[in-house]
Each structure stands twice: as structure tokens, then as C-alpha cells.
Structure 1
């Protein structure tokens, strides 16, 4: 092989490239004037950062320095006025301390910087790990009014020092937080806390600030909160964590578990709902517009374990005669239907009982019934008793459904004969099939309608149990919390869609569903007349008999054990009812004799049946005419 050598052309090329690069660097180097400008810009940036730092420190130490007489009076006063303008007075007379008040239900901490609630503890509740429930803590929330001043400043109240005062009048504690220009000119947040009440009266008002607040600039109220995790399964809790709101004179809506970013109009309250606990801002005078935003913070349950979602709401405020005057309320408390409904402000909509007939059933049937039963028996037993009562009330529906299936089973040989006789004329086969079913008083629809009647009840209960606050931290058998999953074993790894634990109630419910479907699927298949494509249908129904329990097992492993308990008991009772109906109530010989009697009598068709028969006859005539033309 010939050895490659570096020739003279390559050397010349490298030298030229190096020379060009050196020339470009020399040409682009900064001039002395540019170097001086860059150095000056850096110095200005450092001075600006130091100035901001000094001003922030000044806000924090102003009160101490003025109270002790330390420091130069002129320096800090100039810095405060440069930073806050007219509100420097408030900084001088404020402190960095927090203001704490409490009632029998709430312990509230107010930050003197910003004047808003920096901690909210619900005294009667703890989370899944026996830690006190905090809705606000560790800077997870902020409340701010952004406004311009007549001396061309843009201020945020969350950064400004308020002067607190606390007064008590009987069972009412009043906390006044004032951002002062002077003793007679101020912006005030006024909170009224009552014993035995989760609702706080809240007023925003200004006095003497018409020459301070710039009325030509927009004034915005911003409220933000990151929801803490309170339940054993953060992903399950997050499924019921969202923003609810009332708008348009009494309408209500919610964002759902997904992320949201939307504008709404005529808003009277906004609630940041965290499954079993809620933070709500209500107003007497509707906000003309509001912008709300929700973002899911749980991407991986094994990693994201502190917060569920982040919420934000922004509403413009209006001046009245140059002053602010807003009458509002705060609600910090449980998402308990009974508590929320007592306020009469449509707050019960925070409980997701479902829409339409489903919500109606939950509100006026299951909630009163469950409340009554839970008043004198353990809640686990109350679920069992309520399930039994519901199944007994619906047993006539199951009886009708099973009776229809029995009739279709008895007619099956005749229906098969009709299909065989007219196997080359499907229209004729369908006409005779309908005629026979009408005379015998049997119809596939008669079996479907009872099943449809049960669907609203089924879905209503699916919505009811995850939303029932009374189930929270109530134990039953091996389940220590009926509002969360029951654990009989932990798995050292995570199974997709299943989790890292084994829940027993979903296993029992899946077994019960399997045997229930085995009974009903067998009955349905024996009642179906033989026709083309039927083997495939039989296979599909057989697969469903196995697939549905497996789906139940995976889907409900992280759901509330109270819901799985309901499905387990419900399917057990359904199996019992079917066995009783089949073995002790229905007499197939008697049904067969009754069908034969009905076949002898002329059956009067209703308008729908007449119309269907006419349409089928017309279709048959058209088909015969086409065949003759051929």
C-alpha cells in the first residue's frame, strides 16, 4: 500500500485558512469605545441588582430600624419612597410578623407582607398519613391586586407591607389588613371569621386613594394555588381535582381532570376543588370577565407526590368613584354536599354527582338514603344495606328481562324454522319473525328495555361513591378507608394500569361479575335464534365474559373501595335474584302454554308495529318487482 504524505498544496491550504480566520478575528474585535460601553453596561446591571436587593432588604428591616432609631433616617426613607411611593408610610409602620387567628374549624395565618392568607388549616381533618390538612401553606398560594399609581408606578399588593389589627366581637373575629398612605388613606382587606363556619366574609375597599390609584389603567385581581395531595393515591385524587365556577346568573360548569385555559363571563364564584376539600372565592357583584387556568402536576405518581394541580384565576376590578369596593367571601372547607348545600349559593355543584337524571337520582334519592342509613350504622354496612334496597327495587326489572329471555328461548325452534324456510328471502323471514313475536308477546326489545332502565341507576352510583365525603377515612373489614383503595399486599414494582398494590374488593367484584355474566350470557345465547354470523357473535360474548372481569380488576384497583364493595354486593344479589327467578318463579311449561294461547288470539298491532309492517311489505314488493324485470 502506498503511504499517504502531506503534500505542499495541503500545507498552503491550511496556512491560508488560518490566515483568513486570524484576519476575521482581528477585524471583529471591539473598539475601545465598544469596550467602554460594554463595561459601563455591566456596571449598571450590577448597580441595578444591588439597588433592588437593598430595596427588598429595606422593606424587611424598615420597621425595626425606625423603631430602634438605628440607621440613617434619610437613606431608608428615600429608598422606601423610591420603591413604594405613597405607600412608604405602610412599610415604616408594618412588621414582618404573621397574624394568626382561629375558630373551632379553622386556623388561619395572615402574612403581613401582602395581607393575604399564607396558611389555612382545617382543624377537624387529617390526610391519609395522619398529617393535618392544610389548603394553604409553604407559599403554595398567592392573592394579589395589580394596579398603577398616579406617579407612574406599577404595584403588586402581594409584595407590599400591610398593617394588621385583630378585634373580637363574641363569636366573630375580624382581621383588618391595611396598606396605608396615612392613617386616613389606605387599601384594606377585611376578613370576618365566625365560629362553626367555613365561610369567611371578605371585603376589599380603599379610602382616600382616588388621587393615588390610576383609574385609567386596568386593575387585576390574581389568585393562584397549588393543590396539596391529601389522599393515598395521588392519581385517583387528581381525577376529581379541577376548577368549578358559577357564571351567567346561576349556571355552573367545571374544567374536568384535563388541563384548562379559558375565559368566562359574569362569574359569581370560582372554586379550586381538591377532591374532598375546596378553596372558593365568591363575590356579591359578578366579575364581568375572568380567566382561569389549570395544569396537571402529576406526570408520574411515583415521583410527583406533593401537588396535584396548579390553579390560577385572574379577574379585573372596577373603581367606584375612584375607590375600590368589593364584597366577597372565602370558603375553605370540605367538599361535603351537606355543608355546601347549607350555604344556598349553588356550592353543592362542587360535588360531581353527574348531570341530568344521574345528578337528580344522587341528590334526591341516594344522598338522603345513604345519609339516613349512615346515621345509625357503620358506613360499610350502610353501603351493603343500600345496595340490597336498590336491587330489591330493581328486581321487577330483572324479572321482566329474564321473562323476555325465557319467552325468546321457548320460541327459538319456531324462529329457527322460519329462518330456514326463508333462508333465501331475509325480508320475508323478518316479517314472519316479527309477526310470531307479536302474537306470542315476546320481543328482543322487551329484554333490552329493562336493562336500559337500570343504566341511570348504575351510572349514578358510579358517580355517587367516589364523591361521598362521608366515606372518607371510614373503615370496613380490611379496608381502612372506604374513599380510597384497600390494600392486602404490596408489589415491589409498578404494573401499568394496575399499580404497585393488590386490592381485595376489586378481586371479589371481578369474580362476582364473571359468574353473573356466565349466567346471563348463557341465557341470552340460548334465547337467540340461529342465523348467519351467530358463531362469531357467540365467540364475542364468550370473550366479553372473561374480558369484563379482567377490565374491572385493573380499572378499580386504584378506585375507592366503597365503590368496589358496592359492585361486589350488587352482583352477588343479582346472581341470587336470577337463580330464584329461574328456579322458583318462572315456569317454562306455563310460559309455553301462555304463548300458544296468545298465538291463537288475533293480536292488535300498535301504530309503530303497523308502520314497520307496512314498510317491510313495501320493501318486499319492490324486491319482487326488481326480480321480475330481470
Structure 2
């Protein structure tokens, strides 16, 4: 048997052959084309417009592109075929708007003359925080959203007005147009929504919805205060209403809708009232959360076709919530967005405080001094009321010994009715009424609440400095705390401290007056003197906590107001009121016959009858015991 040997030559040949095969396979590897990944968003009931098609992807020829767009957009394939991404800026001296080709909507709204609390430009719209869209169906069973389609811009001049026409085209003679017109020195921008030649394109049997949404940016230092004065306002049926926090409503006959952000507002006005408008307002974050946004606002309202076409004349307003400015827009009621308070409080602000303020700012540039002068004017106007209150207090002090004698003469609960009758008789003869001390205090309450609205909502105080406060519309800070105190905050404000001290001394000085106004303590009745002493300390502390996060202008007003009140009280007490003369006058009054009103006669008769019934019950009780 032949022995097999290892063949070296065969082994080398196999290695060479394998190398040749490997080289051939590697050099002749079939080329794999990279996978073309495109995000196509279909225009159907459940999806949106094809974004990538609108970005003009590469097609081998225009015919293929036209076919693809036709399948996606139907009659509006023209917009994808010839439209392109881009932006157009239109502006005047006050506002600058950046309008995007995509959606034909405003992408940026800059207020040129304002800055945020941290010195940044004030943008009401930026970084996709707002959206304006019209959703409609077509006769070929597509659902389209204008915010996803490309409009073609065209800027022209109409005298001093700048006109921007944004057209969503089916053809040159068939289109949906947004028309913006900017006028010099005006925050209002004329805006029209109209269609031409689309009566056979838009499906009239389906709803055409206008959707406007906004996430309101934070612009002020105190988010809590800014949130407090940010509301959703609207005018419907000739009446201005507002949505409270996290509310939603459906309203009809809406003339305008305002998304208010304390000192700034975004408003959409329509000459054709909107019906079945769904309005919603939601807090974006809690009051104590440091957030970029304040609230989210939304409106959705159906648009009506006229002869198969859209035709709405509207206006945008992007500007300050300035009462003096908004009042100039006649027959709009936009000035109510400024929120001066309801009823008598708003009446006082409109007819008294704003006219006085406008007069003072005409020749005084320092807004802290304006607040001080306004405070002096208010205190002078209210000084007769303060004098009346002190005069009543002095009269009560003079007759107080007589009332104490009556208490001693008729002791016990069984004589309560008789005791009260005698005390009222003494007061009536002296010409003193318990209500005479209460009425002056009540008259000052409307002023208090009116100014509580006036200072925090008046944009003229925004970012105006006075002494250590760099913004009279927000809180002043003299010390930043490393922690947060509930209901107080993480900072120390000086104006509330000064106001609290002034209130303490005012109440301390006023304590004797208040005690004079109180009738002597009767049996079974609480001792009011103890309550008054407790209020002397409670009120300043409450003021300190409550106003620490409020506008420093408001705290400045209360500080100056209480100082002036203390000074006026000192003058009245020591130089105006003479207790000896009052006592002599009361004695003269006692000699004169007292005219009793019919109401007083009925009241005296009722008290006398009650007293007789009480005495009869006592006699009956004694007879039973016998």
C-alpha cells in the first residue's frame, strides 16, 4: 500500500486560489444605496400635513413631485410645489412682527419699548409659544391645517402703511389669504382672512375651525403677582367678562378675545362676531413655582362661509395693558382689560385717581413723588371724614360718665333693655350716634380697595425706581433670605416694614378714640378693650406678611398715608377739638326739644313693648314660685 505524503505545492495553490476569490468578491461587492428616510405626515383625519414634502425633497423631476404633492394635498399641491420656508418682518415704531411662510402666522411679536424684569426684550410670541390655525375639510375628503402649509408672501406699501399678503394658493386665482397691515405708532394690526375661488374646494358641510393658542411668558419679578393679574378677557353680547383660573366656557357673539399677562395683552378682534367659541385658561404652574410660562390660553371657534368663501376682517393687538392707551380705542371696551375694579372701586379709579395721576405725571417725572403727592391729595380730601370721626369720639368721651352711671343704676341682665333705652336717650339728647363713628371708617373703605387695584395694575409704575426700590410695580428687596417663609416669601421688603410700623403707631394713637366710641361694657358683654389691644399688634403683622410680595408703590402709599393720618389726628386732637366747648354744647342740646324721627319712634315703641313683656314674664315667674 502506497503511503500518502503532504503535498506542499497543492497547499500553496489552494491558498493563492482562496486569496484570488476573496479579492474578487470584495472589489465587486454590489453597491447598497443609502435608505432615504423621510417623515411624511399624511393629510387625513388622523394625521397632519406632509412636512418633508413641503421642504422640497429631491425628486427626479417636477412631475413626480407634483404627483406626490397631489396625493398628499389635493388642490393645495401648488403650495407645496412652489412654496418655501421663510419669514417676513413687518414693523412700526412700537411693535415688530415676524410672520412665517409656514402657516402664514406670527412667529414672533416684539414690543420694542419694553424690557422684562431681567432686562431682556419683551416677546409676547417667540419660540413656538403661540399658534394660529384654520382647520378645514376639502371636497376631495382631506382635512387640512393652515399651520402646516406654505403661504407665499408679498409685501407692499399703502401710503405709510405696510401690507403683507400671505397666500395659500390652489392657483394664481384661487387662494386663502391672510392680510396683515401695520400702521405707524399703533399696537393694532389690521388682519383679514379671506378666500377667493375656493367655493368648490372647501367642503361647506364640514366645520371650519379657527384655533388660537398661547403659552404666556413670564415678564415680571414676582410670578405670584403677575399670575394674580393675568386673566382671559372677552367681550360678548356687549359685555366684558373674564375667565377665572382653570376655567373654560362656550360663548356666543364674541367681539374680541384677550390673553392678558398682567402688564401686556394679546388680543384678537373680529368685526364679525364669533359664535360657539370655546375658551380655556389654565395655570401653567403654581404661584410658588419658578417657571418660564404663566398660563396657557386657548380659543376654538367655527368660521362661517359667505357664498362659499371666507371673509373676516379682524385686528391683532400686541401691546401694553395701559388704561390710558386702551381708552383711546373707542367703542371697543378694551380699557376694561386694565381691571380697575368693579362697582364703586372702578368708578373711583376712572373718575378720581387716574385723572389726578395723569395731571401729576404731566409735570413730575419721579413716580415715587407722584405717589406721595397723590397720597397727600387723598388724605386732604378725606380729612373732613377724619374730623367727623374724631368729633364723634370727643362727644362720646364727654357723655361717657353719664352712661356709666346708667350702668350702675340698672345692673343685671334683667335690666338690659331698660339700660339700653336710657343710654340711647342720653346719646340722642347729646346729638351723638354710635353710627357717626362707623360711617367715616366705612367711607374710607372704597378708597382703600380702589387704590389696591390702582397701583399694582398701572403700567406707568412698571420699572420706575424710587429710593431703594427699583420697580414700584413689584416688591422691593433689601435682603434675600436663604430660605422661604410661608406666606412671606424669600426676601425682606422695607416699604411693608415701614407701613406696618406706621400702622402700629396709628392704631396705638387711635386706641383711645376707639374706646371712647364704645359704650361702657355691660354685664354679659365681651370686653372690647381687650380685643382692641390685640388688634393693635395683629394688624401690623398681617400688613407685613400680606404686602411683602406686593407692589412697593402700594406699600409706599400706605406708609405715607398712615404718617399723614397720624399728623392730621394730632392736629385735630390738640388744636381743633375743644372738649370743654363740646361739653357746653351738649348741655345746651339737652335743653332743646329733641326731634324724633318716625323710625326712632317705632324703635322706641318696640323696645318699650319688649321691656314690658320682659317685666310681665318676671312677674309671672315670681307668682309661679309662690
Asked if Structure 1 and Structure 2 have the same fold, meaning a TM-score greater than 0.5 normalized by the shorter chain, the answer is yes
Q: d(CA) in 1 for partners of 2:254 and 2:337?
A: 15
Q: d(CA) in 2 for partners of 1:216 and 1:99?
A: 34
Q: d(CA) in 1 for partners of 2:525 and 2:557?
A: 34
1:30 is aligned to: none
Q: 1:220 to 1:52 in 2, by over 3 A?
A: closer
1:98-247 matches, within 5 Å, as: 98-247=87-236
| Selected match of 1:577 from 554, 559, 568 | 568
1:41 is aligned to: none
> What is the CA deviation profile of residues 115-157 of structure 1, one whole-angstrom value per residue up to 9, with x for unaligned ones?
1101000011111111000000000000111111111111111
Matched, 1:363 2:357: no
> What is the CA deviation profile of residues 507-534 of structure 1, one whole-angstrom value per residue up to 9, with x for unaligned ones?
0000001111111123212442122355
Matched, 1:261 2:248: yes
| Secondary structure, aligned partner of 1:614 | helix
Q: d(CA) in 2 for partners of 1:559 and 1:592?
A: 46
Note if contact 1:55-1:79 (Cα within 8 Å) is conserved in structure 2: no
* 1:620 Cα deviation after fit: 1.6
1:389 is aligned to: 377
2:588 is aligned to: 597
Note if contact 1:204-1:326 (Cα within 8 Å) is conserved in structure 2: yes
1:33 is aligned to: none
**Runs (5+) with no aligned partner, structure 2:** 1-35, 43-47, 622-626
Q: d(CA) in 1 for partners of 2:51 and 2:391?
A: 82
Q: d(CA) in 2 for partners of 1:259 and 1:605?
A: 56
> What is the CA deviation profile of residues 359-378 of structure 1, one whole-angstrom value per residue up to 9, with x for unaligned ones?
11101110011011112111
| Selected match of 1:374 from 350, 353, 361 | 361
Matched, 1:615 2:606: yes
Q: 1:491 to 1:149 in 2, by over 3 A?
A: same
Note if contact 2:248-2:278 (Cα within 8 Å) is conserved in structure 1: yes
Q: 1:56 to 1:411 in 2, by over 3 A?
A: same
> What is the CA deviation profile of residues 347-370 of structure 1, one whole-angstrom value per residue up to 9, with x for unaligned ones?
000111011111111011100110
Pair member with larger Rg: 2
Q: d(CA) in 2 for partners of 1:87 and 1:564?
A: 60
| Secondary structure, aligned partner of 1:425 | helix
Q: d(CA) in 1 for partners of 2:273 and 2:323?
A: 24
Q: 1:71 to 1:421 in 2, by over 3 A?
A: farther
2:84 is aligned to: 95
Note if contact 2:54-2:83 (Cα within 8 Å) is conserved in structure 1: no
TM-score (norm 1): 0.89
Matched, 1:471 2:461: yes
Q: 1:320 to 1:462 in 2, by over 3 A?
A: same
* 1:629 Cα deviation after fit: 3.3
Superposed CA RMSD in Å reads 1.8
1:32 is aligned to: none
Matched, 1:431 2:431: no
Q: d(CA) in 2 for partners of 1:532 and 1:253?
A: 52
| Secondary structure, aligned partner of 1:481 | coil
The structure with more helix, counted as a fraction of residues: 1
Note if contact 1:58-1:80 (Cα within 8 Å) is conserved in structure 2: no
1:545 is aligned to: 536
Matched, 1:315 2:315: no
* 1:263 Cα deviation after fit: 1.5
2:321 is aligned to: 335
Note if contact 1:225-1:312 (Cα within 8 Å) is conserved in structure 2: yes
| Selected match of 2:285 from 285, 298, 310 | 298
* 1:49 Cα deviation after fit: 9.3
Matched, 1:324 2:324: no
2:624 is aligned to: none
| Selected match of 1:496 from 486, 500, 513 | 486
> What is the CA deviation profile of residues 94-121 of structure 1, one whole-angstrom value per residue up to 9, with x for unaligned ones?
1111111211111110011111101000
Task: After superposing the two structures, state which structure 1 stretch, 592-601 or 47-56, moved more.
Answer: 47-56
| Selected match of 1:414 from 402, 411, 415 | 402
| Selected match of 2:52 from 33, 58, 79 | 58
Q: d(CA) in 1 for partners of 2:49 and 2:287?
A: 41
| Secondary structure, aligned partner of 1:125 | strand
Note if contact 1:235-1:298 (Cα within 8 Å) is conserved in structure 2: no
Task: After superposing the two structures, state which structure 1 stretch, 608-617 or 439-448, moved more.
Answer: 608-617
> What is the CA deviation profile of residues 234-257 of structure 1, one whole-angstrom value per residue up to 9, with x for unaligned ones?
111111001111111x2111124x
| Secondary structure, aligned partner of 1:203 | strand
Task: After superposing the two structures, state which structure 1 stretch, 619-628 or 530-539, moved more.
Answer: 530-539
Note if contact 2:49-2:144 (Cα within 8 Å) is conserved in structure 1: no
Task: After superposing the two structures, state which structure 1 stretch, 267-276 or 412-421, moved more.
Answer: 412-421
Q: d(CA) in 1 for partners of 2:559 and 2:529?
A: 26
| Secondary structure, aligned partner of 1:394 | helix
Q: d(CA) in 2 for partners of 1:450 and 1:493?
A: 42
Q: d(CA) in 2 for partners of 1:153 and 1:420?
A: 93
Q: d(CA) in 1 for partners of 2:41 and 2:213?
A: 25
Q: d(CA) in 2 for partners of 1:90 and 1:145?
A: 16
Task: After superposing the two structures, state which structure 1 stretch, 280-289 or 320-329, moved more.
Answer: 280-289
| Secondary structure, aligned partner of 1:104 | coil
TM-score (norm 2): 0.89
| Secondary structure, aligned partner of 1:314 | strand
* Alignment: residue pair count: 576
Matched, 1:626 2:612: no
* 1:585 Cα deviation after fit: 0.7
